[in-house]
Amino acid sequence: MANNPQQFNPEEELHEHTVAINRVAKVVKGGRRFSFSALVVVGDGKGSVGVGKGKAGEVPEAIRKGGERAKRSMIVVPIINSTIPHLVVGHFGASKVILRPASAGTGIIAGGTVRAIIESAGIPNILSKVLGSRNPHNVVRATIDGLRRLSTREGFAKRLGRTGDDTATEQPQL
């Protein structure tokens, strides 16, 4: 959350998207015991998004737990001129997600897993590409990693210990 001055407001209405539901089995003496895991994305549509995984014996309970965990892991994404400030690459495991700024009117060019996160965050124009593993859990974590890496000009200047105006006028040293 340090990359954007605005903070997440927990009282705002949140939108939930269930990205993946998986049935798993534990083999015991009497047979198989089934349980479910759900991957849930939560966002306010104004730049805040979170992801959570819930596990339970029933699907609705797994989705509820995933939603609660997602609300606790919210991050704030900087949105400038209806897109992200710069190109960014997120990694997790064998998954790599490229997020690229897009001009107004482009819309969301993304696959289902990345699209759920981008829509929940409220980014109207973005281009994305998933490389490597297409496992939904890895893609979600890689997308969140990419969104965490985003920085505004002010945030970048602050890390360098300068004001935002200094970075725009300074020429790179060759």
- Residues 112-161 pLDDT 10s: 899 999 999 999 999 999 999 999 999 999 999 999 999 888 877 887 88
pLDDT of 163 above 80: no
| Angle at alpha carbon of residue 24, lines to 18 and 36, rounded to 5° | 40
Which residue carries 């198989």 as its tokens?
Answer: 32
Q: What pLDDT is recorded for position 1? A: 41
Burial 45-55 (b: 16+ CB within 10 A, else e): bebbbbbbbbe
What is the value of pTM for the model shown?
Answer: 0.84
**C-alpha–C-alpha distance, residues 41 and 98, integer Å:** 19
Q: What pLDDT is recorded for position 64? A: 97
- Residues 76-114 pLDDT 10s: 999 999 999 999 999 999 999 999 999 999 999 999 899
Tell me the CATH number of domain 15-164, given options 1.10.8.60, 3.30.470.10, 3.30.1050.10, 3.30.230.10.
3.30.230.10
Report how far apart, in Å, the C-alpha atoms of 59 and of each of 1, 52, 64, 69, 87 are: 31, 14, 9, 15, 37
Q: What pLDDT is recorded for position 145? A: 96
pLDDT of 15 above 60: yes
Q: Which residue has the higher pLDDT, 8 or 114?
A: 114
Q: What pLDDT is recorded for position 5? A: 42
